[in-house]
Copies of this chain bind each other. A is one copy, B any other.
Amino acid sequence: MGIKGIRTALKVDLEKPARDQPGLHNRWHPDVPSCGRIANNEVVKIECLDWTGGQIGNNDSAEDVKNVDLTQIHYLSGPFDIETAEPGDVLLVEIQDVQPFQDQPWGFTGVFHHKNGGGFLDQLYPKAAKAIWDFEGIFCSSRHIPHWNRREGELIATNTIEDRIVAQPANPMNAHAGSAGDEIKAKVAREGARTIPGRPEHGGNCDIKNLSRGSKVYLPVHVPGAKFSVGDLHFSQGDGEISFCGAIEMAGEITLKFTVIKNGMAKLDMKSPIFNAGPVEPQFGPGRYLTFEGFSVDENGKQHYLDATVAYRQTCLRVIEYLRRYGYSDYQIYLLLSCAPVQGHIAGIVDIPNACTTLAVPMDIFDFDIRPEAEVVKREMGACAITAD
């Protein structure tokens, strides 16, 4: 009859270190014990810490970002056993809602220090930087990046599920294997894959802008029970999340529905996740994006053969050059490009030798007019938190 609320499958404790909470883990390994069972077709809420496990504070210094402990990061809630899921099945996960915690209505965007994590533009921007965002309903604002003001976020969740192939060097330090006993704990620490990258087999940390409220995600199942985990919730992000810790990172609660599609991998001939975004993403109108082009020719004029990564870095730099005319510092824009709902497209990938990518900035996220024909007024833009070196 649906008159009761939805079951919360996992609660987290915002005051307790992540490493001491048995429902969290930060390594992929089939032996991480399940922290709960979820029925086929069930809807549950799952609480999550932010991906650093609470290392970043709501203050005006970027020292915590600079010194973030990377051996710990990327905590996930889970894994959960989904009843009836077997290897070869596909797990359909519907994201029905994502919410920050009522009593922690803020998030952060960070630029990692080039010697501790780095980011897409770390050769040019080596320092650590941070912006804190205050949430107001679906909107947010930052005292560190003014004039991007009370604009809507896009609630984002990155879904992850246990994989079977590990391709990333394992790092035993600070491995957290959930509720595992000592023996399994040691094994996971030794063998467990980091949860940071996305991987073709299971998705992992994909950071896909549109994978948000209302989305359906189809995930391949590799182990009995699927061992589904979730975490690293974002209040908003753009394509690429370029500063690494680039989204508006938050702790919060995600509402998910699970459906097992028996033998789905063969039926869908599916090797990597597929998704179908919902109809509620922000819509700015195609005429309200200002789009920048970049090519696979680097700062030194060297051409890189159809290299979309080089082209996208150049595209980002073109946006920074354009927006700094309004008074923003480069670090502020670098943070902004990571967390605002920008679109990064692969435009040309065949016209040898140059790849061409585009980055489209929705003009309506600013409270002043950034069209090329509008007059440029330099504004007082304050500053984001930034380290001395």
Contacts and interface: CB of A to CB of B under 8 A. Distances in A.
Given A197-B353, A208-B293, A279-B287, A372 B268 contact: yes
A278 B152 contact: yes
A309 to B, nearest CB: 5
Interface stretch (A32-40, A97-105, A179-187): A97-105
A348 B284 contact: no
B312 A308 contact: yes
A327 interface: no
Given A303-B167, A352-B197, A322 B287 contact: no
B350 A279 contact: no
Contacts of A372: 90, 92, 218, 261, 268, 274, 276
A354 B198 contact: yes
Interface stretch (A22-30, A79-87, A170-178, A240-248): A240-248
A102 B103 CA distance: 15
B58 A150 contact: no
Interface in A264-300: 267-295, 297
Contacts of A322: 268-270, 274
A349 interface: yes
A88 B288 CA distance: 26
B308 A295 contact: no
Interface stretch (A1-9, A223-231, A378-386): A1-9
Contacts of A257: 136, 150
A58 B276 contact: no
A358 interface: yes
A222 to B, nearest CB: 15
A272 B295 contact: yes
A235 to B, nearest CB: 13
A112 B26 CA distance: 46
Given A152-B214, A198-B351, 20 more contacts: A2-B143, A3-B104, A96-B136, A119-B350, A196-B352, A197-B352, A197-B354, A200-B295, A207-B351, A208-B293, A272-B293, A274-B291, A276-B372, A279-B285, A280-B283, A283-B283, A283-B285, A308-B308, A308-B312, A346-B346
